[in-house]
Chain A
Amino acid sequence: MSTEETAGPAAGAGLRWRRVHPVTPFVRGWAVIVAVLVIGSQQVLDDVAGALEAAGEIGSFWWIVVLAIVLFVGIVFGYAALAWRMTAYAVDDDAAHLRKGVLFRQQRHARLDRLQAVDVRQPLLARLFGLAELRLEVAGGADSAVAIGFLKEAEAQRLRADLLARAAGIRAGKTSPARPSTADAHGAPVPAAEPVAGVDLPVAPPGGDTAAAPGAPGPAAETSSVGGPAGEPEDAPAAGEDVAPPEAPERPVYEVPPSRLLLSLLRLPGLWVAVLFLVGLGVVVAMTGSFGVLVSAAPAVLGVGGYLFQRFAGEFGFRAALSPDGIRLRHGLLETRAQTIPPGRVQAVSLTQGPWWRGPDWWRVRVTVAGYGGAEGSTDESQNVLLPVGPRSEALTALWLVLPDLEVPGGPDETLALLDEALTGDARTDRWFVTSPRRARLLDPLSWRRNGYAVTGRALFARGGRWVRHLEVVPHERTQSLGLDQGPWQRRRGLASVALHTTPGPVSPAVHHLDADEAARLLGEQSVRARAARAHAGPERWMEARQ
């Protein structure tokens, strides 16, 4: 296997540099090649007669044409070969290294204890070749990911398992005999490493299709035996490779059937606005008989259609699983993505429900992970999704994946009560939430009863929205800074808003229009709570403390 060869013995102190798959430049650069071909053929087709004439003219110089083509192909291949030769990666216990670039050389080291997530990405073309790209997300702006690729699928799986084991603080042996023991070491501490805490799993709701699945996160379902042997065959398509990957065992938690995804998209208002728009357009065209209107409306229709298709394709076949390495997510129709988010890397969670999903009580769960970025409306939105659409029980299970124990005083029943209140309750029935006072009605006539916050031992819940209900959950130790804001109208009514600043992402938690003194109290107490939680936060290498 060419990917295994070392790229020179003296390349780096003791590092074993490896090459990526030789097809990589073409998988990456296919768009350029296709564009060149398309433009070339268009030029010829546009002017067939002229081209033929020219062909007749240069008939005697045919060898020049052939030479030009050969030269062009040679340059492309030469550059590709050079680019491939220059790209190499290596992994040691502390960091992942990647070097690439022909003219502008780049070396990148990603510290493994700062690893935020590991994605295995397979664009369509790479899937045809059986290749995959490994993306190591570190927190550092838009383009900070270390993209190792492309590798053979099994190789990518193996590398991911290796990286996660090292990042977790398990010293993996470098040769294959050590691997089974890695798997054991990895598998054994599952009950301990997961802060599953036995009884306190009230969030996994009874009923619902998830509970039916074996190994669903039922309360204290399996503390001693982790279902299945290491390396669930399901997770490694075409895994029949030589070495069994030291993959941490995982339990499937939920999946989203395509029918539900489709139905949920059909309920989106954007689709119906677009359909109405089209119908209106049809009427206009029928009455005036001019088709020019259609052309002018094309961009809008294409935009809506593109968005819906992107959501469908990106969230198709969504599956979530839990492993000692954290949350595993798989999704995608054309381009597939298998994400692993290690424990403690989720900065904030949001649960939203528009009025269009209220009938079946469906919710959408998104997370902020440092390094994913993905602010509202960015192209890669599916990266931040924890549950594209699901009933309340599944949404709560998704929240449980992030925060297994909310530490609500009073046990499981109280936790469920709190969560119900957080999702659908308002000031008239609240027991846990502190909401806007009545004098906020003028400033926020619709949702003043919903605005509010609640605090548990582990996280802060910020609730809001009456038409589009939303709930943001921030673990105490993940708050970056806190803000208190007050505008002139708020001051006259003795109100203030509190914002919790988290890393860039789709979740921006804030509690609006609280009583001013209450807001000040929340600000003071939350900064104390965040400090205390940070002091007791788990280690960056999530297995280390347990060894």
Chain B
Amino acid sequence: MTSIPTGPEPSPAPPATPSTGPFDPPGVTWQGVSPRLVQARLISATATTAVPVVAGVVLALVLSPWFWLLAGVPAALLLWAVLLVPRQVRAIGYAERDDDLLIRKGILFRSLVVVPYGRMQFVDVEAGPLDRKLGIAKVQLHTASANTDADIPGLVPDEAERLRDRLSARGEARLAGL
């Protein structure tokens, strides 16, 4: 695989990217996610692109050089992912404020979601087989709105559990109707 920084535990992240105005509300300290998420994402990207690449190479050697295209496009995509994913993962951040949770994502297309604790309907903690192997989990927050896109991938299980319990407790304390 590629040389991915297999950092130990999630560092109390420094501001991921040079902080630009609107996505950095004053008085908020951002938490980063585990760098092992890079590994997880790259492994699954490799798995999905491997099949067409291998097929393309075999066909190109056997049948016609045109099939190099079939191998080349996914390979280029994979290379792009290798360059991009570490930055993407570093850009993910979350912050617990007194009354709401902030989640920040993206480099090119940036987004920031504010979820009030009282609006949370339930909290999911998910971890696939690869995630479990790497020791990360995803926490997803659900409100009554389907548009709320609030998930925090790449959390260490302990942190995921802590966050889940904390969110549920705070949600209960501030529970409101719809």
Binding site for B on A (CB under 8 A): 113-114, 116, 139, 345, 347, 370, 477-478, 480-488, 491, 496, 499, 501-504, 508, 516-517, 519-520, 523-524, 527, 530-531, 534, 537, 540
Contacts and interface: CB of A to CB of B under 8 A. Distances in A.
A51 B25 CA distance: 80
B109 A486 contact: yes
A531 B99 contact: yes
B145 A501 contact: yes
A345 B144 CA distance: 13
Nearest to A485: B111
Given A114-B177, A496-B22, A527-B100, A481 B111 contact: no
Given A519-B22, A527-B100, A527-B116, A487 B145 contact: no
Contact of B23 (A478, A486, A540): A486
B114 A523 contact: yes
Interface in B156-178: 176-178
A520 B144 contact: no
Given A370-B178, A481-B119, A534-B118, A139 B112 contact: no
B149 interface: yes
Interface string B136-150: 000000011111111
Contacts, number: 102
B177 to A, nearest CB: 5
B109 A503 contact: no
Interface residues of B, number: 29
A58 B83 CA distance: 79
A143 to B, nearest CB: 15
Given A139-B144, A139-B178, A508-B147, A481 B110 contact: no
Given A481-B150, A486-B23, A524-B25, A503 B116 contact: no
B114 A534 contact: no
Interface of B: 20-23, 25, 99-100, 108-116, 118-119, 143-150, 176-178
4 closest cross-chain pairs (CB), A and B: A520-B22, A480-B145, A501-B145, A484-B112
Contact of A516 (B22, B144, B147): B22
Contact of A530 (B116, B143, B145): B116
Nearest to A113: B177
10 contacts: A114-B178, A345-B178, A477-B176, A480-B147, A481-B145, A487-B108, A501-B145, A503-B146, A516-B20, A517-B22
B21 A488 contact: no
A530 to B, nearest CB: 7
A139 B176 CA distance: 14
A114 B176 CA distance: 11
Contacts of A504: 145-146
Contact of A480 (B22, B99, B110, B148): B148
Contacts of A483: 111-114, 147-149
A530 B145 CA distance: 15
A386 B108 CA distance: 40
* Interface core residue of A481, A485, A491, A524 (most chain B CB under 10 Å): A481
Contacts of B20: 491, 516
Given A516-B22, A531-B99, A531-B116, A481 B178 contact: no
Contact of B144 (A477, A480, A519, A534): A480
